[in-house]
Structure 1
């Protein structure tokens, strides 16, 4: 498979895949292409080895590059429209290229073509101030659920992409949303519609406000410095935060 395909499967940027090929983390065969070019081909075995090493676990929050294209200032599944097209969604194709899916004609277009030929424009802004950190609420929503797009439109417009983490999976969308509250002005969904997809945290609708509450609470522990340093090293070896490492160890002890 190609570096683009590997990038999408691993939830990495294409640039990261090439970096991992160069440092040997991803084994790839350099194949001559044309007179002067070389392309990389990754075998299924090499992919599986890389996935075990590099693929983020479900407990790790998505990285911004997984759902945000900074140079175009667009996010996955963002809604666009024009006089020619009633609705278009920002989608990545199988080669991990950003573009638009036009549902009315069931066609994917490269981003530049959608802007140039169809004059597509965003329906709403996607930026808001970053909330004070109070943890995250986690949801996993099937792609074929009717409420998905209305909910994402609301989140992008009202909460802003700064307060959201999104990961596209094969059949579902994984969402991490910063705890907080905002007016629930849309009629596209009700709070009860998204409750079945809640993994961690709480969701309320009070007096016209949608409220997300994290299931985590900050705490503090006084521990010997050498113990803290050892815990930090162990967490780094596993590629997780020390808080997550402590949580996992305590959870295993309390089972």
Structure 2
């Protein structure tokens, strides 16, 4: 039976990664990160913890694989259609009165969510005066996001999600199909800025009217969540909106008194 990385070894690895490469995973949920490290250890068939650690410390290319495996990149277009419907019906029309709309998508992964938001903005005639800042810790996934190319096999599911979210057009009008891939229109991408940002260690970089960070904070411990909520509070204009994942909440956080939850989905307004 393959050996398992122990808690103390996980700690050693995470300290190495922080010290040598600046990626801070030390406050991520312990059980979740241990599971992923053990999965990678088994996948790459290291004979021992010592060899795994040596490889991580000395191979600057392997760290990319490590970060990719440790950060969760599970996403799809128009995921949770009722959320996008709430965005379409209740949030974006209110932001439509602004001269310019700045949106921060924190933890954008491979970009499916960024393109989904751009499509909704386009249908509401708001895309021209909007800018989506899509950030992620992982430069590898940002590169994929910037290409706007997704497997054609996923379009059926994405199209269904789109229709359930209140989409009115033919979903295929937003991309061109080529062999096994779908390439989304450059007009959507032209309103996006993709860049690396580490929610754990980086500061606020602008003021936004809408911040989306869905299904990222569930992997952080309470202290780290508190730190990120403070960052979002600093980055959000008064009366701006914050959208979280279904299992995440602002309740009990130090900034909770500054926000009011809308009656729909997990969207909060700064009051």
| TM norm structure 2 | 0.23
**Structure whose residues are more often strand by fraction:** 1
Larger radius of gyration: 1
| TM norm structure 1 | 0.24
**Structure whose residues are more often helix by fraction:** 2
